[in-house]
């Protein structure tokens, strides 16, 4: 080809033709890809899916809030004594007479036990057998109470006993044998101590199974849970006792109960997440937080809410940890065997369920179980071709 045949721009004529053809092909290819995508109707589907997902999330959050509202308001909206145990110094006949008088004042509010001496009745209060004890005398009765049992239960007992004494033409003097400390007059610290351990333990369980610990062996996860429980309980005890001074006098007992509570909650939630995925974890969360905390009675105590709900609360971690802490800090560790056994049962059940993951290998939350004979995602001829 002669130089004269070459255009001024230095590009051969056939190159211009081939470039135009390539441009046309790309344009046609773009139109074909647009056609394959299905046009605007297809692009609208992801938007609808996002809208439906947002709506479903709003409905789910609303249902969870309903559980919180029903649990707390249902349990705590009309507090009052329900079969609250009190004592009387005297014979069984005097106990029966006091029971009848209290029944007229507040039906179903109290159960009455008799004690032979004032000291025996006082010991019964400190050993958590009864919440209060009446000592009949002239010209006025004496009602021994312990506000460390809970100020709400104490105030209700004082009001009803005063009404009974007035009906008998007697006055009533109140003696507080175990008061709450001045820096925690409502007994809120024990409730917040339990919640401060329970809530982050459930969060840690979820993160352990679905995020940073998902590739760990189940026994490794149990060791991580044990280490976490010791650490979080030590920090909570250090803040509650020496740092803030809210729960003082029994730091080692507080630390032991906190460790057991944190381990039981974390192990149970982690096991639920491994065996039943997000739904299992959500059920444990709702059972332990809104249901468990509300059914414990919080600062009111279990004898100030519906009996059937209080019985449920005593079988859950929060409803076991609260009396264990209360009795350890304020009542010299009396009557803590049953709450500790219940917490231990939860811890053992969670640990065993998590250990069984090593035997049966349920799928990790967020992953899909691999079917035999089906190639894993990212493998096979297509993946090889892409490679």
Side-chain-side CA neighbours of 151 within 13 Å: the count stands at 10
Q: Which residue has the higher pLDDT, 121 or 385?
A: 121
Q: Which of 269, 293, 110, 277 is closest to 191 using CA atoms?
A: 293
Where residue 262 falls among pLDDT bands split at 50, 70, 90? very high
Q: Which two tokens stand for residue 338?
A: 């049953």
Q: Which two tokens stand for residue 38?
A: 């299905």
DSSP label of 110: E
301 and 150 in contact (C-beta within 8 Å)? yes
CA distance 100 to 94: 10
84 and 111 in contact (C-beta within 8 Å)? yes
pLDDT of 379 higher than 50: no
Q: What local confidence, expressed as pLDDT, does residue 42 receive?
A: 61
Q: pTM for the complete prediction?
A: 0.81
pLDDT of 246 higher than 70: yes
pLDDT of 71 higher than 50: yes
Helix spans in the chain (H): 13-37, 40-76, 92-105, 118-126, 151-167, 188-210, 218-238, 251-286, 292-295, 307-314, 317-330, 337-355, 357-360, 381-386
Q: What local confidence, expressed as pLDDT, does residue 367 receive?
A: 64
Where residue 53 falls among pLDDT bands split at 50, 70, 90? confident
Q: What local confidence, expressed as pLDDT, does residue 212 receive?
A: 87
Can you name the CATH fold of 84-176?
D-Maltodextrin-Binding Protein; domain 2 (3.40.190)
42 and 36 in contact (C-beta within 8 Å)? no
Q: Which two tokens stand for residue 107?
A: 């039906």
Q: Which two tokens stand for residue 336?
A: 């803590």
Which of 29-43, 113-127, 154-168 shows the lowest per-residue confidence on average (mean pLDDT)? 29-43
DSSP label of 152: H
Q: Which residues pair with 114 in a beta bridge?
A: 88
CA distance 362 to 35: 43
Q: What are phi and psi of 135, to 5 degrees?
A: -115, 100
pLDDT of 382 higher than 60: no
Rounded mean pLDDT, 16-38: 49
Rounded mean pLDDT, 62-87: 89
Percent of the chain with pLDDT over 90: 67
In tens, the pLDDT along 184-218 reads: 988 999 999 999 999 999 999 999 999 988 889 99
pLDDT of 70 higher than 80: yes
Q: Which residue has the higher pLDDT, 291 or 31?
A: 291
Rounded mean pLDDT, 156-163: 95
Where residue 386 falls among pLDDT bands split at 50, 70, 90? very low
Mean pLDDT of the chain: 86
Q: What local confidence, expressed as pLDDT, does residue 38 receive?
A: 54
Each domain of the chain, given as residue ranges in start order, spans 84-176, 188-360
Where residue 25 falls among pLDDT bands split at 50, 70, 90? very low
DSSP 160-180: HHHHHHHHTT-EEEEEESSPP
Q: What local confidence, expressed as pLDDT, does residue 41 receive?
A: 58
Rounded mean pLDDT, 101-127: 95
Alpha carbon of 168 to those of 86, 106, 138, 145, 174: distances in Å? 19, 16, 11, 20, 17
Distance linking the first and last C-alpha atoms of the chain: 43
DSSP label of 112: E
Secondary structure of residue 363 in the 3-state scheme: coil
């Amino acid at each position: 080809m002669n130089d004269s045949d070459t255009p001024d721009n230095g590009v051969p004529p056939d190159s211009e033709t081939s470039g135009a053809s390539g441009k046309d092909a790309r344009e046609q290819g773009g139109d074909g890809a647009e056609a394959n995508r299905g046009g605007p109707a297809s692009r609208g589907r992801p938007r609808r899916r996002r809208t439906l997902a947002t709506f479903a999330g709003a409905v789910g959050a609303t249902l969870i809030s309903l559980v919180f509202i029903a649990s707390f308001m249902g349990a705590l909206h009309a507090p009052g004594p329900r079969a609250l145990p009190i004592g009387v110094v005297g014979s069984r006949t005097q106990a029966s007479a006091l029971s009848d008088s209290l029944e007229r004042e507040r039906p179903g509010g109290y159960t009455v036990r008799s004690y032979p001496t004032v000291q025996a009745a006082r010991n019964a209060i400190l050993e958590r057998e009864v919440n209060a004890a009446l000592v009949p005398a002239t010209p006025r009765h004496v009602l021994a109470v312990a506000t460390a049992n809970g100020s709400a239960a104490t105030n209700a007992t004082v009001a009803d006993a005063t009404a009974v004494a007035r009906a008998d033409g007697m006055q009533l003097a109140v003696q507080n044998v175990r008061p709450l400390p001045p820096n925690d007059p409502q007994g809120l610290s024990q409730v917040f101590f339990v919640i401060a351990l329970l809530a982050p333990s459930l969060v840690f369980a979820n993160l352990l199974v679905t995020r940073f610990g998902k590739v760990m062996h189940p026994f490794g996860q149990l060791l991580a849970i044990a280490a976490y429980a010791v650490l979080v309980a030590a920090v909570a005890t250090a803040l509650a006792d020496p740092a803030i001074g809210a729960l003082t006098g029994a730091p080692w007992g507080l630390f032991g109960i906190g460790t057991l509570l944190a381990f039981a909650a974390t192990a149970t939630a982690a096991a639920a997440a491994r065996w039943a995925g997000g739904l299992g974890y959500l059920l444990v969360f709702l059972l332990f937080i809104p249901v468990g905390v509300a059914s414990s009675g919080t600062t009111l105590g279990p004898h100030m809410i519906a009996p059937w709900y209080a019985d449920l609360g005593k079988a859950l971690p929060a409803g076991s940890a609260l009396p264990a802490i209360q009795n350890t800090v304020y009542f010299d560790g009396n009557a803590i065997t049953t709450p500790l056994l219940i917490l231990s049962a939860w811890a053992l059940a969670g640990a065993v369920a998590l250990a069984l993951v090593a035997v049966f290998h349920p799928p990790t939350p967020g992953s899909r179980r691999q079917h035999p004979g089906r190639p894993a995602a990212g493998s096979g001829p297509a993946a090889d071709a892409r490679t």
